[in-house]
Amino acid sequence: MTGIRLIDVHVQIEQTPVLRGINLDVAPGSWLNVIGPNGAGKTTLLRALLGLVKATGSVEIDGLGDERPAARARTLAYVPQTPLIPPGMGVIDYVLLGRTPHHGVFANDSADDLAIAAEVLGRLDLVGFADREVRSLSGGERQRVVMARALAQTTPVLLLDEPTTALDLGHQQELLDLVDELRAERNLTVIATMHDLTLAARYGDRLALLSEGQVRKTGSPEQVLTVESIAEYFRANVKIISDVDGPIIVPTGRT
């Protein structure tokens, strides 16, 4: 299991500070949901973990001292918010791309790679789609295929950027339930950015509220999701209904 610690992480993009002193501690095998208004720096936080943007401060990922991209890709798998789906690529080939960090780009897929891809397809109910082109699939099916590619990376950490945005309510729950099952099965550490606060409260262990590049609050859903904090950081008026599975956030509009 892999824990992650960020200490005073700053990121600037074109002279504009996007992350301003992030401190976060993600326990091995836990699930952290990152919430915050648009432009808070949620995606940049994931990109900083992936080494896709230059960050100062300390990003510690257990077992990862090596900065080579392939080593990082064996530790962190990433499901971007809007993945670029290559034209003409079949589902099985797309999922096998996830094996790249394990064998490098000069080797062919081994029997093991094919077995892992087949297992992931089965796990995500995609067996019937193996020979279809990814582009021909619906939004929900595509999201599962991108998830399958990330799972085929067999990494201890899963980074999800708004994984449910393109999905209807049923598929949202299905996907998050699946992440939760896989986390239990494989001891995954999960960091997900989420827009839907009620869903963010129901899945995962902890929440981190980001605003203007800083972590404003961390803790349990009850601690983070208060009427006051949502008004302050999201500029939204909400009512919060307590429920055994976590708080339910209901927008009330201007009152």
User: Is residue 137 part of the contact set for other proteins (CB under 8 A)?
Assistant: no
Shortest approach of other proteins to residue 84 CB, angstroms? 4
CB of 70 to other proteins, least distance (A): 4
d(C-alpha 116, C-alpha 120), whole Å: 6
User: Per the structure block, which two tokens stand in for 254?
Assistant: 């201007």
Indicate whether 17 belongs to the interface with other proteins (CB under 8 A): no
Strands (E), the chain: 4-13, 16-26, 31-35, 55-61, 76-79, 157-161, 189-193, 206-211, 214-219, 238-241, 248-251
**144 interacts with other proteins by CB under 8 A:** no
Distance, CA of 127 to CA of 185 (rounded, Å): 20
Q: Chain-centre distance of CA 17, in angstroms?
A: 22
Give the contact letters, 100-129, x = binds to other proteins (CB under 8 A), - = no. xx---xxxx---------------------
Binding map of other proteins across residues 48-77, x = CB under 8 A, - = no contact: --xxx---------------xxxxxxx-xx
| Interaction of residue 80 with other proteins, rule CB under 8 A | yes
Please give the size of the binding site for other proteins, defined by CB under 8 A.
37
User: Residue 94 or residue 234: which is nearer to other proteins going by CB?
Assistant: 94
Closest distance to other proteins from the beta carbon of 52 (Å): 6
Residue 248 DSSP SS3: strand
The phi, psi pair for 11, rounded to 5°, reads -135, 135
- Residues 145, 64, 106, CA angle at the centre, nearest 5°? 55
Q: Closest CB to other proteins among 86 and 122?
A: 86
The contact set with other proteins (CB under 8 A) reads: 47, 50-52, 68-74, 76-78, 80, 83-90, 93-94, 97-98, 100-101, 105-108, 133, 135-136, 153
